Structure 1
């Protein structure tokens, strides 16, 4: 399998579809040499490809679902589901293998742009990169994972404005840089349990009107309730219920820009608008009617 350059893949949709025919992708030029991209397996067979990285860009990525493996002469990279990775591997050749239903979000940018945007927050990374080829895989925590998922959704949606995409890019980058060295979470939760916890998170947030019970999540994922509760704390930094409530209230903020308080409460499954208002105020410190004034 002859390798294709990374520049060719990003700049030519025809080349990408020929090399990875069962992968849906989107590449967005953010400006300043920054490219944001998403990849999603669409077939039933594993994805196989070969690529040469002909750029000097820093790569930030998060694997949201499935499995991906990159093999080069220097590394065998197998990011864990739900984990973020940072790499600087210029001019390396990679053999890529991915499961049929994988999902990944990625951000690439030059070193000087990272320095300009992040300042001293990026010093630790630029110091490591100055030593040569670099790769690090870490559990991002709940807020970092939320930022990755938001970026994936914004890049997937045709209705996302350039400003919304750029905001999601900067938030994703900020959380990637937030925790430079302490990656103990990924070692605290075994790989199989991380995958089950990611599945539990998706099930939990499928319907923000009605949360499944912990017993239902345990039955669907094959994890017992104790491991679910402990795993959510370790991997996402939150209890199961608090994570559901955070996502529910985040969605409420979006709905309030187009709907009144009563309508928003009803759309989120609240039978009583006052219960919704109390939950919203507890989360954000302001009542939803006040938040709506600023949102409109």
Structure 2
């Protein structure tokens, strides 16, 4: 597969770009640029290393894997990107001016991460970078925007709406991750809860029991439950259900699996239960959604968009 780079200006001060590639051999490239935009990055598939050589915060080696995200602002930067052969990579970036983001967030500025807030309010001229694992809701929203952009059939208004939704989700999630507002968790417990989350994501099709999670991560069941409520705003069961349904939508968007295959891949043993859960979450039966995805892809292929 050849590398595909797409970029669209959605409105003055807001751009979206995506990158998709499966290199036949190891590759790397260097870059150097001046910048006046905030960059929200979402790594959806694969692995890419970004070596930042010269920034005002020093040198950084960022190892990005599927499920990682970042928010950065560097007025000047240079570095080198590296990727291994035969590893498919999918990435989407949102580039937004500080002035526009401040205008959008002015009513909620109190809830914004301190580094971002200081930049938007012109209280600091320091560059910054936040690197983190993505919340499953953010990951799914990023995938939706990626496929909408790559499909070519969506209007700019739709793309702009999805981009703003994704920025809004990410800004709020970044603050919830910081754990600075009346937290009842210690830094060590926050790390443990995130490890539990990763454990569930890696075994979503055959999830461990609460007792198994408690033993594996040396936390009480009640602490895990309260930790999930604090960090992610939902119970462990709620998180797992939401993650699986978002995963189902991603599988359908890929267009390679039928409803039964998706249900089995997610660990559902009863197709009716899966269909009911999907309809409750998205307002449409999975079969209907899959048909609409396939019809859309056929229409896009026929018109040769993108």
Bucket of the pairwise TM-score, normalised by the shorter protein: 0.5 to 0.7
What secondary structure, in the 3-state scheme, does the structure 1 residue paired with 2:76 have? coil
- SS where residue 154 of structure 2 aligns? coil
Matched, 1:93 2:78: yes
What residue number does 1:172 align with? 166
Cα 1:83–1:275 shift into 2, 3 Å: closer
TM-score, normalised on structure 2?
0.59
Secondary structure (helix, strand or coil) at the match of 1:116 reads helix
Cα offset, 1:46, TM superposition: 2.8
Q: Pick closer, same or farther for the CA change 1:24–1:141 going to 2, 3 Å.
A: same
- Which sections of structure 1, spanning at least 5 residues, go unmatched? 1-20, 205-211, 216-225, 255-263
Structure 2 match to 1:279? 277
Change (3 A) 1:197 1:50: farther
1:170 Cα deviation from its structure 2 partner: 0.9
Q: Which residue of 2 aligns with 1:115?
A: 102
1:57 equivalent among 18, 21, 37? 37
Match of 1:157 in 2: 151
Q: Does the CA-based 8 Å contact 1:68-1:99 persist in structure 2?
A: no
Q: How does 1:1-296 map to 2 (within 5 A)?
A: 23-64=3-44, 65-73=46-54, 74-81=58-65, 82-100=67-85, 101=87, 102-122=89-109, 124=114, 125-128=116-119, 130-181=124-175, 182-183=177-178, 187-188=191-192, 200=202, 239-246=239-246, 248=248, 278-279=276-277, 282-283=280-281
State the 1:131 CA deviation.
3.5
Supply the distance in 2 between the matched residues of 1:177 and 1:106 (Cα, whole angstroms): 14
CA distance, structure 1, for counterparts of residue 145 and residue 249 of structure 2: 19
- Where does the alignment leave 5 or more consecutive residues of structure 2 unmatched? 179-186, 209-215, 218-223, 290-306
Change (3 A) 1:159 1:197: farther
Secondary structure class of the residue paired with 1:243: helix
> How many residues are treated as equivalent by the alignment?
235
2:303 equivalent in structure 1:
none
Deviations 1:215-252 (A, max 9, x none): 9xxxxxxxxxx79xx9xx79997554553245558999
CA RMSD of aligned residues (A): 4.4
TM-score (normalizing by structure 1): 0.61
* Aligned match of 2:295: none
Distance 2:150 2:284 in 1: 32
Contact 1:85–1:137 at 8 Å: present in 2 too? yes
